[in-house]
Amino acid sequence: GNSVTQMEGPVTLSEEAFLTINCTYTATGYPSLFWYVQYPGEGLQLLLKATKADDKGSNKGFEATYRKETTSFHLEKGSVQVSDSAVYFCALTGGSNTGKLIFGQGTTLQVKP
Amino acid sequence: ETGVTQTPRHLVMGMTNKKSLKCEQHLGHNAMYWYKQSAKKPLELMFVYSLEERVENNSVPSRFSPECPNSSHLFLHLHTLQPEDSALYLCASSRGSGGASYGYTFGSGTRLTVV
């Protein structure tokens, strides 16, 4: 079945540093790919998504490009802020029109002033 | 506010109690989900409802009992829980079968503590 692997955290950065959180996937067919963010004490919020190869999702300064050749969907941001401290989840659709999303284990990002 | 509302936000219950978690959405979605999020563990999908019919039950113990009376409401009935059931319980909705490509909308969760 489809699966997703994220880099282990926590990731600790200084404010204004460049962020990359790696995500790779295994899938049959053509899944849609997502990044979700979970701020402390909250549920998950959709951050960005891409539905086909070479699509770039972007939101709030974050970007990720759907790379079919490397089966990756790495999350990047050029300059992080303290307010970006959260847990980030990579996800993909389960395939075969199951209506399911499959989530990675999450990566904690801590940004220090 | 995401459009998916969960109540209560926090719940403390004894192992012999019976309680229910509630989830409500008015986004016009017709699939709803319960997830369990425990510390240092991946998100665990518990139940999936599509058009008010349960389509998935991922080997969840019978002390958790879901109910979906209509497409806008989802409940999780709890009884005789164990301390290891303490977790954040998240509800989500989507546009239904095949609608996962649009993503899920999550509620803020219910933080459950079993004492």
| Residue-wise pLDDT tens digits, A28-83 | 888 899 999 999 888 999 999 999 999 999 999 999 999 999 999 999 999 999 99
3-state secondary structure at position A45: strand
The more confident residue out of A25 and B103 is A25
DSSP-assigned beta bridge partners for residue B23: B6, B74
- State whether residue A3 sits within 8 Å of chain B by CB: no
d(CA B18, CA B47): 19
d(CA A64, CA A56): 6
Residue A67 near residue A61, CB atoms below 8 Å: no
The rounded percent of chain B whose pLDDT value lies above 90 is 66
pLDDT-based confidence at residue B98 (cuts at 50, 70, 90)? low
d(CA A62, CA A55): 14
Confidence check: pLDDT of B94 > 80: yes
Contact across the interface for A99 and B42, Cβ inside 8 Å: no
Q: Which pLDDT score is estimated for B8?
A: 97
Which among A100, A105, A106 has the least Cβ separation from residue B100?
A: A100
